[in-house]
């Protein structure tokens, strides 16, 4: 496989010692930092906002993959661009005018991603698949870390890969939620390109090891 990317989820990091965890990811084989921004409305949890992201961006040497789990994300596109986001992902379920939002993300110099919740059909993305750089498939119900992986995700990855191939798109498939060494290989074989890993990395005694193992599958 070899070309896949690993994006440790900072939501699972030690917030009392955040700089050390960011430096660990910098020195590891990880490719991106995955940053979950939650508003307590779109998902039943509040994570962190602009001031924390501003500090995170000062200490990161790899691309910031920012996942907005918020209502009306179009209000903040320029703000997140100014904070140093490289990839900005919005939820299909949170956007009434998704195409416009995607264009605005790109106009602000970022790569555009669209996330979908576990119950959302991937076929709904067929009309925009050529316009986006990333699809983030939620493989747990969004809002909290540490949840169990939803097995139906494999089927969704396979179908989404078909849609991408049929459209001659270069869009990447990102898996977010419950990723570990138990399912990573099968996800990659099914068509995933980017693996987001939270607890599997940060709850390890030596977090660079699970990152290296995921990277070298």
Q: Report the catalytic residues.
A: 36, 176
Burial bucket for residue 170 (CB in 10 Å: 0-12, 13-18, 19+)? exposed
Radius of gyration from C-alpha coordinates of the chain: 16
Rounded to whole angstroms, the Cα distance separating 150 from 100 reads: 31
Q: Are 116 and 92 in contact (CB under 8 A)?
A: yes
Find tokens 């440790």 and name the residue.
8
Backbone angles phi and psi of 165, in degrees to 5: -65, -45
Q: Are 184 and 214 in contact (CB under 8 A)?
A: yes
Backbone angles phi and psi of 64, in degrees to 5: -95, 115
The helix or strand, by DSSP H or E, that contains position 74, with its residue range, turns out to be: none
Rounded to whole angstroms, the Cα distance separating 50 from 98 reads: 23
Alpha helices in the chain (DSSP H): 18-27, 50-59, 77-82, 98-107, 153-166, 184-190, 199-202, 208-215
């Amino acid at each position: 496989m070899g070309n896949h990317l690993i994006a440790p989820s900072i939501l699972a990091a030690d917030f009392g010692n955040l700089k050390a965890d960011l430096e660990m990811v910098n020195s590891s084989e990880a490719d991106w930092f995955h940053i979950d921004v939650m508003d307590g409305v779109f998902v039943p949890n509040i994570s962190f906002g602009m001031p924390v992201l501003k500090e995170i961006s000062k200490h990161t040497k790899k691309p910031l993959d920012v996942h907005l789990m918020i209502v009306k994300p179009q209000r903040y596109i320029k703000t997140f661009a100014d904070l140093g986001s490289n990839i900005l992902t919005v939820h299909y379920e949170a956007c009434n005018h998704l195409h416009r939002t995607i264009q605005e993300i790109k106009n602000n110099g970022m790569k555009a991603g669209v996330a979908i919740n576990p119950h959302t059909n991937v076929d709904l993305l067929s009309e925009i698949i050529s316009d986006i750089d990333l699809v983030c498939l939620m493989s747990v119900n969004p809002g909290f870390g540490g949840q169990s992986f939803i097995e139906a995700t494999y089927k969704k990855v396979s179908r989404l890969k078909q849609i991408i191939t049929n459209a001659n798109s270069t869009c990447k498939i990102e898996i977010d939620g419950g990723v570990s060494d138990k399912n990573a290989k099968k996800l990659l074989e099914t068509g995933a390109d980017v693996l987001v890993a939270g607890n599997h990395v940060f709850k390890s005694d030596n977090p660079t090891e699970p990152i290296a193992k995921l990277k070298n599958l």
